[in-house]
Amino acid sequence: MSAPRRQLRSSHDALRAGFAAIRVEHEVPVDFTAAASAEAQVAARERFGDGRAPGGAGRVDLTHIDFVTIDPPGSTDLDQAMHLSRSGAGHRVRYAIADTAAFVVPGGALDRETHERIETVYCPDARVPLHPPVLCEAAASLLPGQVRPAVVWTLDLDDSGEVVDVAVERGLVRSRAQLDYPTQQRRLDAGAAADDVVVLLAEIGVRRAALERARGGVSLGRPEQEVVDAPDGGWALAFRAPLPIEDHNAQISLMTGMAAAALMISARVGVLRTMPAAEDRALARLRHQARALGVPWPREKGYGEVLASLDRDLPETAAFLAAATALFRGAAWTSFEGEPPAGREHGAIAAPYAHVTAPLRRLVDRYGLEICLAAHAGSPVPEWVLAALPAIGAEMSEGARRTNAVDRACTDLVEAAVLSSHVGASFDGVALDERTVQLNDPAVVARTEGAELPEGERVTVRLISADVATRTVRFHHDG
């Protein structure tokens, strides 16, 4: 028997206390220092960087271009705005990225604080931002109707989606509208006009995805376990796969990151997001699992093509996607000055790639953008950027480790809370491997005891404990 959908009604206070304890446990810096906050207030009020005012020297006025943002509903930290148009049989993409360097004084209190925070940490009850809200949710965010400083990429694409020309410059932009994914997906499904931004985005996204598969890249597309708001004001668990329009939007960011990496490699200075290609042994193991699960994998097809063709509703697909995550190991931020690194590619993207499109939420992007601006202009990279390069990879790795640990701990806590009053109940799910089950409802992934699970098959397991204090759950499979 499957348990009914559970809502959290009696554990709000305990969960909030638990989330706060997790932030303390993982040393997440919640409050900004007085000095950093004061710098942010001054920057928000007075600066566009080095005294550049709206329309002043050093920035191109692009406020006449109809940029729009597209993000999850309710977002306020808007890093990116885009303007898409057709250019013959191809397209022109203008991609405006929030210019955090216009607000952060190198070596100042706010700069030091961002190096401690490294990236925005998202918890179910709160967001712990990289920058003070006066910047990331206001003065630096690409909010609609507001003139904002931005680093603007112009990428010209041919009729296959390949980038044939790249430019990057500092500008002033004004977003015309703040769009959200669900609404725009519905508009796209309903048949928006041919020159509508969502139609152009889909055209570009489909072409870029085809290029990705052709070069051996892959987007896993696995539904992610998320803690979501419950109707009663608490929290619940869900598996959520990205909407097609989110995948299209991600292709714009990936394309820009690839263009950034090319600029860095040409200039012989930069910081790349790298990951080794999947090892032959790991691919052979995945092929074996595909055969065992009945997942078709023709010899002539790469694993990216196979993943793209899967029916996500089948239980064997869930197991195969879980197994495929083993291919994605060893990601790092690799900085260089001089000869680019030998292992310069990102294995999942199958190309060199750099992080430059989320500077409000990720530290390294501010540095990557400065390098690209200098490389495109043929100018020296600022000294404050070069000074940070040797350490930035380790900083980013530590930030990612902390963020992932916080996310996992918060999810574990909600799992235990959701299940705590149902010890002894049985739950249906899918066996991801011989010891891991993915429940249908609630959206829990957990280890099991007892008999081994039949990988890729539907199973029933029994909950034997759910401890909120230790954030653990235990299931038994009777076989």
Beta bridge partners of residue 95, listed in sequence order = 82, 153
Q: Please classify residue 472 by burial: count the beta carbons closer than 10 Å to its beta carbon, then call 0-12 exposed, 13-18 middle and 19+ buried.
A: middle
The answer, yes or no, to whether the previous bond of 242 is cis (omega within 30 of 0) is: no
Residues in the chain, total? 479
Dist CA 315 CA 455 (whole Å): 9
What is the C-alpha to C-alpha distance for residues 15 and 21, in angstroms, rounded to an integer?
10
- Phi, psi (deg, nearest 5) at residue 112: -60, -40
3, 222, 258, 260, 313 from 353: Cα distances, Å: 45, 21, 4, 7, 31
407-443 burial: b if 16+ Cβ within 10 Å, else e: bebbbbbbbbbbbbeeeeeebebbbbbebbbbbebbb
The sign of the CA dihedral 281, 224, 84, 257 is negative
Count the neighbouring beta carbons within 10 Å of the beta carbon of residue 260. Answer: 30
pLDDT at res. 49: 45
Q: How far is CA 271 from the centre of its chain?
A: 18
Helix orientation angle between 12-25 and 383-419, rounded to the nearest 10 degrees: 150
Return the sign of the alpha-carbon dihedral for residues 193, 241, 216, 154: positive
| Contact indicator for 8, 418 with CB cutoff of 8 Å | yes
The pairing of strands 60-61 and 163-180 is parallel
* Nearest-5° Cα angle at 43, 42 to 44: 90
Residue 165, Cβ neighbours under 10 Å: how many? 12
Instruction: Report the amino acid identity of residue 248.
Output: H
Which tokens hold the place of 68? Answer: 């729009």
Task: Give the CA dihedral 322, 328, 330, 335, nearest 10 degrees.
Answer: -140
- For tokens 């409050």, what's the residue? 31
Per-residue pLDDT of the chain in tens (479 residues, 90 and over written 9): 333 333 434 357 789 999 999 999 999 999 999 999 999 999 998 865 443 443 345 799 999 999 999 999 999 999 999 999 999 999 999 999 999 999 999 999 999 999 999 999 999 999 999 999 999 999 999 999 999 999 999 999 999 999 999 999 999 999 999 999 999 999 999 999 999 999 999 999 999 999 999 998 988 777 888 888 887 778 888 888 889 999 999 999 999 999 999 999 999 999 999 999 888 888 888 888 888 888 889 988 888 888 888 887 788 888 888 888 888 889 999 999 999 999 999 999 999 999 999 999 999 999 999 999 999 999 999 999 999 999 999 999 999 999 999 999 999 999 999 999 999 999 999 999 999 999 988 999 999 999 999 999 999 999 999 999 999 999 999 98
Distance, first Cα to last Cα, the chain: 16
Convert 198-227 to b/e letters by CB count within 10 Å (16 or more is b).
bbbbbbbbebbbebbbeebbbbeebbebbb
61: which strand partners? Answer: 172
**DSSP assigned state of 33:** P
